[in-house]
Amino acid sequence: MKRILTVCLLLALVIPTMIPAHAAEVSAASAILIEASTGTPLYEKDADRRLPMASTTKIMTALVVLEHTAPDTQIEVPAEACGIEGSSIYLRPGERITAEDLLWAVLLESANDAAAALAVSVGGSIEGFAAMMNEKAEAFGLSDTHYTNPHGLDDEEHYTTARDLAKLAVAAMAHPAFRTMVAARHHTIEREDGTRVLLNHNRLLRLSEDVVGVKTGFTRKSGRCLVSAAERDGVALVCVTLNAPDDWNDHLGLYEEGFSRTHAVTLAEPGAFSHGIPCPNADDGAVTVSNPAGLTRVFFGEIPAIEAVIEAKRLLLEDVKAGDVLGRVVFRTANGDVGSVSLAAEECAAAPKKPSFFDRFIPDP
């Protein structure tokens, strides 16, 4: 049996809200803004329309490379990676360069030759690497995405949607190395012919202190494509625009609207909840349990009324070790549970040892 205790109540009214279509003049043919921790859309405009993605392709390119190649791997540049149209760091056939340096070039300078060199090294060929990209897309549940190359140059069978790109960006930003790279405004690499400074094409990093990534893209067919991520006061948002003539302002405007409608609430700091469970074997007659981990949740509109309810065992008769999970704190609103944290024992308590047959029936000498 468990004992249930309601320990606190926060009063407010929850009003989930989507940013109205007229709230920001969005130039994009397709767009979406989501809250990253839940994937909740805050704004969308034709977000499931399949469109070219240009160099936002390289988000997936980087993820596949990071999954299959050590950063310090030395890569010999194949001839087929050299002279590719579009952005480039002008690799030469036979040049040796690390996978990490190529990734920096891919994510900051959007270098098509670096993307191709990585693809051939990791996948054996452009086609083999594209198959790996599509396999990863399927694993992420990106049902409206298909890749034919690692750089994003135009191809009828190379497409995605704003919604799929937002999902991909959330997954990519969870990777520490990727996150570090796309947040950097510049980076220096050593080439055989000297030092090169790479500059991040993502102007949002300079226009807003909230922005922490992610990737730009452009071809004449795709128009301007942009995937970005921003964080403010514990809230993380991801924005995607495809074929957007005014993409910088699209993102900045949507972020202002989005952050005004979302709130990160710390429901529990580590150790904030403490509860004693009766235990005749404990020194003080009870075992203290508390929450080792904290919990933060994002709410949309106003913060709802939240109850924190302790669910724990009524009585402990068994052995207890420090760290044993003996209950939890559940956070509830009128619309249901919004999360929980475990309650773990802070100390040990050993149950009395049962006497053996000899202890019971053979008297002491």
Per-residue pLDDT of the chain (365 residues; tens, 9 = 90+): 455 555 544 434 344 456 765 555 899 999 999 999 999 999 999 999 999 999 999 999 999 999 999 999 999 999 999 999 999 999 999 999 999 999 999 999 999 999 999 999 999 999 999 999 999 999 999 999 999 999 999 999 999 999 999 999 999 999 999 999 999 999 999 888 789 999 999 999 999 999 999 999 999 999 999 999 999 999 999 999 999 999 999 999 999 999 999 999 999 999 999 999 999 888 888 999 999 999 999 998 888 899 999 999 899 888 889 999 999 999 999 989 999 999 999 988 776 655 555 455 555 55
Single out the residue of 107, 73, 65, 112 nearest to residue 89, CA to CA: 112
Please list the alpha-helical segments (H only) found in the chain: 58-68, 99-108, 112-123, 126-139, 162-173, 176-183, 204-207, 247-260, 357-361
Report d(CA 240, CA 250) in Å as an integer.
9
pTM for the full model? 0.84
Per domain, the residue ranges of the chain are: 2-13+266-345, 30-260
Same fold, 2-13+266-345 and 30-260: no
Question: Which parts of 232-356 fold into alpha helices (H)?
Answer: 247-260
CA angle 99, 198, 133 (to 5 degrees): 40
In this structure, are residues 289 and 310 in contact, taking their beta carbons and an 8 Å threshold? no
Q: pLDDT tens, 333-360? A: 998 999 999 999 998 877 665 555 545 5
Joined together, the tokens standing for residue 125 give: 């060929």
Q: Which residues are catalytic?
A: 55, 58, 110
Q: What is the pLDDT of residue 81?
A: 95
- Degrees (nearest 5) of the Cα angle 238, 164, 112? 90
pLDDT of residue 14: 40
* Exposed/middle/buried for residue 333 (C-beta within 10 Å: 0-12, 13-18, 19+): middle
pLDDT tens digits for range 114-139: 999 999 999 999 999 999 999 999 99
Q: Is the peptide bond before 211 cis (omega within 30 degrees of 0)?
A: no
- CATH 3.30.70 matches 2-13+266-345: no
Return the CATH fold of 30-260: Beta-lactamase (3.40.710)
CA distances from 57 to 137, 140, 216, 249 (A): 11, 15, 9, 22
